Structure formats: structure tokens, C-alpha cells
Structure 1
């Protein structure tokens, strides 16, 4: 019941057709405190606060002391959002002077689809330079900033406390060979379909890129740990904006389906669409009429809201979690052997822990 009412609150910030206010009017102070904690854990604290204006007329409001604390937390999100926005503008300008287009993935670009962009919150800054990432790293090193390579997807560095990931690839295709063609599509789309963000001077991906990339980004966290509701909401709002809030339909669902079937994650994508319709409040008209798997949808959502494995740091614990989550792996990477996937992941971890590989040399 708690999860149902929490999702109802979340839907209120996204859909004006939500009719579940009655279930929120009887919440106790303890319930509201629990909601704030859960919203923070799911990275939707600001989004849930946006719902309160719509709930005033229904008497579904938290006690004043709880509301003040909530607003204070969201104000901190707003401050960090504005700080990162200024940072993006400065970094994009720096790279532009050297002839580079800085593409920002996820994060800032997705925030522009939210009812109040600065309520999405900020995390790491994921950037891409359309084949010129190594040159971008060299420019950063010339500024005396240490650049590390500790994963196969990207290099990393920090400036003024903001963590930047400079991507060589979008997904871990070297660990998941079934996604090679998806990776090719994503890079090709970034080469051809970028648009300039006038506010910051960075470049943003197309809706098609996001509709293909975001489910796989969420899927990786879903399988290996760290999935949250914000990742689902990001995808849901991309779909909503590209269909309802656009003059033209920007999503080629047949192409999306073909890539998902090729990559082996089509059933997972069907379930993600179903969650967006039934639990996030996005109209079914925004999505294709694909098969529904409601039992799997409920299991996926339950795992996101109440993960069975959290704060796993030791290698034995990670191995235990990996095999315990076989059903997730088979849902997302259905064309791959779970055991082979485990071996490839271990190989990748060893290569980047002790090897001499470079993300800019993929051979």
C-alpha cells in the first residue's frame, strides 16, 4: 500500500489526469517522512514536491514541519543544478574554442523535459565528442587535471567537485556482444542528429537516441545494481515529449523494436513501456501496442522500489548477487549465456584494474 501511494504521488507531478488523491489525504506524518526518504532514494525528491500544488485542493498535504524540510532538500537540488548548468556552459565553451562539440547525455538534457527542470537534480556529467574523445582528454590534461581510465566505456576526471565521464562508447558492448549493432546505431545517431542547446552551448541527442539508450542504461543498473525510478521517469518523459508535446512523431518504434529484438532485450522493453503506462501515468497512446507481461512488470518495479541486494561492495557479495539475479540477466541479455557474461565481466574488471588498455584503443 505504501508503494502504491508513493507512486500515486509521483504520477501527480507528471499527469494531470491522476485520480488517486483520496489515497493520499489520510497519510500520517510518519507516512510523509517515509515518502521523503523513499523519494530521495529513488532520486525523484523534487519531482514529488511538484505534485503538492495539485494536491492542495484535495487536502493531501504533509505537516508544515515535514514540508519545510522537504522544500529545504529540494532547494539544495536546485542550487546544485544551477551550479552544474554553469559548469556545462563553461566546459562546452572551452571545448568549442578547440573545435569540439561537447555532447551531454542523460542529465541536463533530460531535465528540460521535466515540469520544473531544476527539480530533476544532478549527478555525474556524461559527455561524448563524436570520435574525438581522446583529444578532449588531452586538452583536459593540459589544464593540469588528472584523467583516469578505469572502465571500458569512458575516461573520468573531476573539476570543482563535478565528476565527468568522457564516453568512448555508450554501452558495455565488449561485455555484451549482442548489443554491438545497438552501439553502432547510437554512435551513428549522435553523428547525425544532434541539436544545440542555446542556454549552455552544449549539444543534445535526439529523441530516438534516448529511446534506445535510456532503457539499456536503466537495464545495466537493473541487472548489476543501482536502478531507480528516475531512470524510468527519464525514459517516460522522453517518450511523452516526443509524441504528445511535439509537432511530429520523433520515434520510429519499428526501428526501436528491431534493435531490441536484435539485442535480445525486447521483452524487457515491453515491460518498461508497461510500467510507464500503469505506474508512471504516461498515456498508452504514446507507446506502440506491444505485448504486455504484467507479472514481470510488477516484479521489475518491486525490485526497483525495494531492491533485494543493496550496498554490495565485497567481491564475494558481488558474485553472489550476480548469480542471484539470473532472472534479470536473462530478461535483459536473453541472447547471452549468463556464465559467459560473468566471465566477460570478470575479464573486463581485471583488464581495467591491472591492464594497460585504453578506452580510445578498442582493439
Structure 2
């Protein structure tokens, strides 16, 4: 089976997992095809998701060789145990943060897994926590970050890395934790200003709810935030199908909400305002092709031409471009080539990448001297 056929089979399994395709419609595959599907699902961080689809197949189609089946099941079992560990860590961290008068919510990862039919089967990594001091507003953002840093240090968490524009890294129970001061960023300063303003409004409206011992953001927040996260990774580092599936799950749940049209309209207005409208339309097409998402679930009209280009990038690059064999293995060179390749599509964001990095270097260096922040290099 060719790579194109393998990818098509993988998309069908994702559609089955999401309930958008009948398991009976999947043809039987030989051992080599299943091996290719297993490898591709590992590359795209969707091992657990695809396994859930495999379990739904009729017995005559479950022709996996025993060695592949056992290896796959073993990966899923370890994934489930990891998710249980992370859920417990999120609850403990939330409790610790409340003890120092911080509100917080878990972004991406564990909060998104709650939307899955089988939450423990979402591939997981570190913990992303957004934190908000309950005390009065700070006159400058660097003062707010310094206050958060000192309070987090008082909890006894181990420092892992330096402080950047939107987060800092710690470790809790041997688990990497990113403490976010801001959601993320756009390199275009005008778009970024609007994005940060939108985030502040979301925080003021307390855009989170509690479940499983920790807080998660509401769907209206994730419609913009997850798209921006995908936008940044695809443009500068590389993305993978797990992030696409996350957004498909989000839209599936949005369709069940009574005021879904109002939420869609608000999200679309924000997405356009921060310069991601074109990208969003390309992703809508990708969602249809990879997860079989019905047109009624989409928040924008799909752009087929751009979507084909974006899907090709996702399948070639993988997360952080680690599996991209098209160019140099040097990470910085990969980033440069990626920016050059996508510049004609998203020039308003990519053109500001170097100016933003220069400003960011100056900002970190200034605050490192002022507040004795950890050294710039890990």
C-alpha cells in the first residue's frame, strides 16, 4: 500500500473513532498495512485514538498480526496510566495554587481529554496551567510575572527552564509543567495586541469550570485558543494530527450546545480580528478530510486549495518538525525553511517573526538583570 493509501486509511479510522463513519465501511487490510498505520499513528500522536477505532471494527476486519496488536495495546495501556497520573497531578497543583490565592485552569492536554469518549486515550505530554493572582491589578506585566514566579517558587516546584513571553517551566512530581501568564502570542504586534485583549476579557468573565479536581476552559475560549496554538505550531515548528482531532472533538461538542450559532459567530469575529481567518478556512477543509466532520459542524467555509497545502505540511512535518525529512536536520535551519515555504500564505505573521524574537531577547535580558530570572539558556 502506498503512503497516500495509508494516510487515507488513517483518516477513515479517525472518522470511525469520532463517529462520522461506520466501522463496517472499512475494508480489511493486510499485515503490512496495519504496521504502516501503527507507525503513522505513533508519529501523529494518535495511538490511543486509532486503537479505539480498531476496537469498533467487525471481527473479520480486525486482521492485525498478534505482534502488532500486542505492541499497540501495550502503548495504549501505558498511555492510560500516564493520563491517570497527569489527572492526579493537575488536581494537586490546582489545590496548591488555591492555597496561595491563585485561580487557574488547565489548557489543552488534560482539559481537552474530558471531551473524548475515552479520555484516557488522548496522547499526553506535559501540563499547561494558566494562573491568575487574585490580588489587585499590576501596573506592569513584568511585575505580575515576577510576583507569579516568586509565589510558584514558594510551593517548592523544581525550576526547569527560563521565563519567556507567555510561560515559564517548572516540574511537579517529575512531570514538566508550563505555568502560563498569557495564552500564547502572535508575532504581528497589532494582531497580538487584539489577541491579548481578547484573553483578558475571557479571564474577567471567568471562562472556566471545574471537573475532576481541576478547572478547564469553556468551549468558546478553546475555539480561538486552540486554533491559535495550531496556527503557531504549523507556521514555525510543525504540527500533527492529534491537534486536528482535538479541534474536531471541540466542534463536535459545540454542535450539541443550544446557543452554538452565537458562540460560533463570536469566535469567528475574533479569529478574523486577529488575522487567522484564512488559516481557519484551510483547517476547516482539513477537518473534513481527516475526521469526516460534517459541514454543519464547521465554523467557517472550508478553503480546499489552502487546506490541501496545510494537510500536506501536517503529514510531512510532524510535531516540531521532528519527522520532516525534506530538509536539514538542524532545527534552526528547519524553522527558516518552513518560514520561507509558508511566507506567501501567511506573510503578515511570518514577516514579524524576526523582529519579535529580537524584541523578546531584549525583554528577557532586561528582566533577567532586574529580577534575577533564570539564565536564558536551559
Matches within 5 A, 1:7-86: 7-18=11-22, 21-23=25-27, 25=28, 27-57=29-59, 59-86=61-88
Alpha-carbon displacement from aligned partner over 1:250-301 (angstroms, at most 9, x marks no partner): 75233222222222221110111121123212221112452x3212211211
Quote the residue 1:342 is aligned against: 354
User: Could you tell me whether the CA contact under 8 Å between 1:175 and 1:345 is conserved in 2?
Assistant: no
- Which deviates further from its counterpart, 76-85 or 10-19? 10-19
Change (3 A) 1:317 1:68: closer
Correspondent of 1:286 among 286, 292, 297: 297
Quote the residue 1:197 is aligned against: 210
Question: Distance in 2 between the 1:20 and 1:307 partners?
Answer: 32
Question: Distance in 2 between the 1:196 and 1:260 partners?
Answer: 23
Question: Distance in 1 between the 2:331 and 2:169 partners?
Answer: 26
Q: Secondary structure at the match of 2:247?
A: helix
What's the offset of the Cα at 1:175?
Answer: 5.8
Alpha-carbon displacement from aligned partner over 1:298-347 (angstroms, at most 9, x marks no partner): 12111111129536999975246424433534534x534x4442232244
User: Could you tell me whether the CA contact under 8 Å between 1:110 and 1:234 is conserved in 2?
Assistant: yes
> Is 1:302 the equivalent of 2:312?
yes
Matches within 5 A, 1:1-363: 1-18=5-22, 21-23=25-27, 25=28, 27-57=29-59, 59-131=61-133, 134-147=146-159, 148-173=161-186, 176-200=189-213, 202-244=214-256, 246-249=257-260, 252-288=263-299, 290=301, 292-307=302-317, 310=322, 318-319=332-333, 321-332=335-346, 334-336=347-349, 338-349=350-361, 351-352=363-364, 356=368
Report the count of equivalent residues: 353
Alpha-carbon displacement from aligned partner over 1:101-149 (angstroms, at most 9, x marks no partner): 2211111110011120000032121111235665443233124434443
RMSD: 3.0
Q: Secondary structure at the match of 1:122?
A: coil
Question: Distance in 2 between the 1:358 and 1:314 partners?
Answer: 38
What's the offset of the Cα at 1:214?
Answer: 0.5
Question: Distance in 1 between the 2:245 and 2:209 partners?
Answer: 23
User: Could you tell me whether the CA contact under 8 Å between 2:207 and 2:221 is conserved in 1?
Assistant: no
User: Could you tell me whether the CA contact under 8 Å between 1:21 and 1:58 is conserved in 2?
Assistant: no
Question: Distance in 1 between the 2:307 and 2:357 partners?
Answer: 27
- Which deviates further from its counterpart, 292-301 or 320-329? 320-329
Q: Secondary structure at the match of 2:183?
A: coil
Alpha-carbon displacement from aligned partner over 1:46-96 (angstroms, at most 9, x marks no partner): 000000122125524412221111010010001110011111111111122
Question: Distance in 1 between the 2:342 and 2:226 partners?
Answer: 17
User: Could you tell me whether the CA contact under 8 Å between 1:212 and 1:256 is conserved in 2?
Assistant: yes
Change (3 A) 1:254 1:75: same
Question: Distance in 2 between the 1:74 and 1:85 partners?
Answer: 16
Gaps of 5+ in 1: none
Question: Distance in 2 between the 1:325 and 1:194 partners?
Answer: 33
| TM-score, normalised by the number of residues in structure 2 | 0.83
Change (3 A) 1:316 1:77: closer
User: Could you tell me whether the CA contact under 8 Å between 2:44 and 2:241 is conserved in 1?
Assistant: yes
